[in-house]
Amino acid sequence: KRILVIHGPNLNMLGKREPEHYGSQSLGAIDRSIKDRARELGVEVSAFQSNHEGELVEAIQAAVGQIDGLIINPAAFTHTSVAIRDAVLLLDVPVVEVHLSNIHKREPFRHHSYIADVATAQITGLGPAGYIYALEALAEMIA
Ligand code: DQA
């Protein structure tokens, strides 16, 4: 079983970026812990980060028919991108939206997600562990 993890803009700066919201772990460290857990669960994980909306759309398009589940943190594009939402709708596999911070506790413009109602579930506010919970849930759903 194959799971794709997609990270949106500015998540490449994790560790240095607003640690009060996003913690001190780097994206590399988060991806390593996702892959370690994936190995234990017997699923294959690949991870992709981009700061460009079109590249994120293309990564989702390229995954159509190739993956069994998607974990996506669209970052700022969560709140703006109909294009990423439409790309997610191309997939017929479970999708878990993840946010490190609790978007509902923050500025009002972060409360709306264009992805939430086309995703299977949303995990928000649990930090990097949210990706692990998303992976565990997907692994069980697609077993
Ligand atoms: C985020 C929340 C978004 O509002 C923000 O733009 C991000 C990260 C999170 O993981 O908490 O870049 O998706």
Whichever domain contains 92, its CATH number is 3.40.50.9100
* Domain carrying residue 124: 2-142
Q: Whose CA is nearest to atom 6 of ligand 1?
A: 76
Q: Which of 7, 21, 52, 99 is catalytic?
A: 99
Q: What is the pLDDT of residue 35?
A: 98
Residues in the chain with pLDDT values less than 70: none
Q: Is residue 99 annotated as part of the catalytic site, yes or no? A: yes
* Closest atom of ligand 1 relative to the 99 alpha carbon: 10
Alpha-carbon Rg of the chain, whole angstroms? 14
What ranges in the chain are assigned the alpha helix state H? Answer: 19-22, 27-41, 53-63, 82-88, 129-142
Instruction: State the pLDDT at residue 81.
Output: 98
Please tell me the predicted confidence (pLDDT) of residue 130: 98
According to the model, what pLDDT value does residue 77 have? Answer: 99
Catalytic residue status for 131: no
Are 41 and 138 in contact, with CB atoms under 8 Å apart?
no
State the pLDDT at residue 124: 98
Phi and psi at residue 124, in whole multiples of 5°? Answer: -140, 125
CA–centroid distance, residue 141 to ligand 1 (Å): 25
Q: How many folded domains does the chain comprise? A: 1
Q: With a cut of 0.95, is the ipTM above it?
A: yes
Q: Which member of 22, 104, 114, 131 is catalytic?
A: 22
pLDDT tens-digit readout, 77-108: 999 999 999 999 999 999 999 999 999 999 99
Q: Dihedral, CA atoms, 131, 98, 52, 12, nearest 10 degrees?
A: -40
